[in-house]
Structure 1
């Protein structure tokens, strides 16, 4: 067993060259391999997605792409790829590919959430919790963590404000692998450094993410046969509540249906949820309440299926949070104990009842969907869970049926269209 463990700590030999050059038409883009001097030794990425995959990180060094009159991000715009020893405040076991891509997706989400202190916790390149709060960074982190404390274990945290002592103490109470912030209070950094395996990144650009919004990067996807798909990166068109479109549609008979307009609180939560959606694998839905995710459904093959699974997830995580608050036991541990302990069994029954009464915390939440609802079944499930407002791209041939589901609800559920899809593969 000890030999098997070595695969996770061993640095894989890096055979990649120091420079990568890509030419698109007349434009030449030059990328320089990023390495760090750690413990007196020059090291690149620890390994790729798995311990037996060599990998390298390249940062834009020269050349800037412009296509169709749109200028892309390039040299000088770097965040995670621009990190030097100065920014790697503590290397822990020193970063691998998955650590960097988790932080990168946190950056991807936070670029749309600059108005308030915000925190995103990521695991396997999907957010498991996100929140923003006028009350400050610590409140945002606590709300993000409460969204899914189980999935957060061993995750990466990315924040958009200087990390303070209160937040550092909350972070240190749990096991995380990576923390990234624009800066750190000295005392907060001391607290975080007490966890020797924690990778700590200082990325000053996290405080200026609004400068990148609307400017795409060149998004390259490699195929299994060695081919490459090049695309403009996703650009979120919903940057303010006013950017949502009214949900209305006309059926074949000429009847037009129009959905209720969200309240200001619902619209703000939908705005937040759509920003988080930019970093979630499709098909997905996200439930949000009071500026924090309640449940995130990721990567399912059908729209109604992801809603069903996300509602189930919400109930499980909510019940777990109640069990942990009452007994310092996970839901699984409390269930085991309840099999032989009448008092634990009574507590478990109460927790299950409270969970059903609030639909796992979904009652009063809003939901966004990265693609349109092809049928009203997914919407009916959301309404049954207590959702009060929905945002979705629109454009289905059954939009009238989907809107009708909202209008038939008591109380009436709001709906808006985003006018764009947010798939992420």
Structure 2
């Protein structure tokens, strides 16, 4: 067992070059490998990434430092705009140990969401490059608490990224949870002392997060490498939905007649659609998510069929809601309370009350917004959300059977609103 554990502590040597150049049709991009001098295992080591996605995988982080690339009329991100790739020792207020690939790609994934939510305090907690919870609020501590309570199980060992300075209240809540990474533009007086009690926590101060709005519409070169050594180049995705005015009415023609929703969304529902569509940009596809009051309720990721992921997201909402109720009432996760009941250390009435409240509240899903990263090819996925009491559904539109999905919303009691985003948001 000691040897198995040791692999996670090992700092791998990497044999990647200090500089990489990519020539794309005569346009050259120049990348510099990022390394840090950090205490690791009791000694000072200069090294880049600890390892890749798994121990045993050599990896290196590169920052774009020279050149530029124009694809058609699209100017991709230029040097000098580094975020995660530009982190230096001064920004690592506490390194704990050299970061691995997933630590930094989790931070990058959160920033991919937060760049669309700069108008309000927001937090995204990432786990394995997907958000476990994301939320906006009037203050950063509430945004963090909402994101944490959205899925306090998956948040364990995650990366919490915030778009406002961390205050003492937020730091105290973070200290109750084991996190791998905390990243924010700054830390208010007293917050760092609290966070540093967790010796292995990587604490990043990234001042440019305060300027994240300038990255909102920036596109970058997205490279997918294939098993045979080949690769696919594409420009990165973008999110055109900035305000409710950018959404499209859900309508389509069927049998010579226009099919439209009987009910239009409220301003509050539209705000949640804009929020949810921003979160969708950072969720692996196929995905369906449920959001409510500026917070994720259930997140379904990476499934092969849309009705299946709609069900998974709803099922997860029930589980996460039960955990939330249990934590708020007893300071325990649901499974911890269930074990204590089974061992006779807690009153069975406590777990029964949590179960009954979760079912009565339907996992917090009634009144939520159902958001799909691609159109619903059949109404079955829509019907899953309707059965849970969603009040509005948003998806790209464009299916030959959009009329079925709209009719399903009209047949609900009361009728459910629907809007189109006009754009798919696949992320693979």
Note the C-alpha offset of 1:336. 3.5
CA distance in 1, matches of 2:215, 2:331: 43
1:140 paired to 2:155: no
Tell me, in whole angstroms, the C-alpha distance in 2 between the residues paired with 1:232 and 1:195.
Answer: 39
Residues 1:92 and 2:96 aligned together: yes
Residue in 2 aligned with 1:174?
177
Do structure 1's residue 119 and structure 2's residue 123 form an aligned pair?
yes
Cα deviation for residue 235 of structure 1 reads 0.5
| CA contact 1:35–1:44 (8 Å) conserved in 2 | yes
Whether contact under 8 Å (1:334, 1:344) holds in the other structure is no
- Return the alpha-carbon distance in structure 2 between the equivalents of residues 304 and 127 of structure 1: 20
Q: Equivalent residue for 2:303?
A: 300
Aligned twin of 1:131? 135
CA deviation after TM superposition for structure 1 residue 342, in Å: 11
After TM superposition, the structure 1 = structure 2 runs for residues 22-33 of structure 1, keeping only pairs within 5 Å, are: 22-33=22-33
What are the within-5 Å matches in structure 2 for residues 384-423 of structure 1? 384-423=387-426
**In the TM superposition, what is the alpha-carbon distance from 1:340 to its structure 2 partner?**
6.2
The aligned counterpart of 1:202 is 205
Deviations 1:305-324 (A, max 9, x none): 01111111111111122223
Q: Is the 8 A contact 1:22 1:29 kept in 2?
A: yes
Residues 8-19 of structure 1: pairs in structure 2 closer than 5 A: 8-19=8-19
Match of 2:53 in 1: 49
8 Å Cα contact 1:371-1:422 kept in structure 2: yes
Instruction: Compute the TM-score of the two structures, normalised by the length of structure 2.
Output: 0.96
Q: Assess if the C-alpha contact under 8 Å between 1:156 and 1:177 holds in 2.
A: yes
Which secondary structure does the structure 1 equivalent of 2:405 belong to? helix
Question: 1:202 deviation in Å?
Answer: 1.3
Measured after TM superposition, the shift of residue 333 of structure 1 is 3.1
Structure 2 SS opposite 1:81: helix
Q: Secondary structure at the match of 2:29?
A: strand
**Counterpart secondary structure, 1:300:** coil
1:353-407 per-residue CA deviation (whole Å, 9 max, x = no partner) reads: 2111111011111111001111111111101111001110000111001001111
Aligned counterparts, 1:226-241, within 5 A: 226-241=229-244
CA RMSD of aligned residues (A): 1.4
1:354 maps to 2:357:
yes
Aligned to 2:4: 4
**Contact in 1 for aligned 2:337/2:346 (Cα 8 Å):** no
Secondary structure at the aligned position of 1:287 is classed as strand
Q: How many residues align?
A: 423
Q: SS state of the match for residue 150, structure 1?
A: coil
Which 5+ residue runs of structure 2 have no aligned equivalent? none
Is the 2:122–2:137 Cα contact (8 Å) retained in structure 1? yes
For 2:79, what is the secondary structure of its paired residue?
coil
Name stretches of at least 5 consecutive residues in structure 1 with no aligned partner.
none
Task: Report matched runs for 1:227-306 at 5 Å.
Answer: 227-251=230-254, 253-259=255-261, 260-306=263-309
Q: Secondary structure at the match of 1:230?
A: strand
Residue-by-residue CA offset, 1:177-223 (whole Å, 9 max, x unaligned): 10111111132122212211000111111111111222210000111
Tell me the SS of whatever aligns to 2:320.
helix
Counterparts of 1:155 and 1:342, CA distance in 2: 30
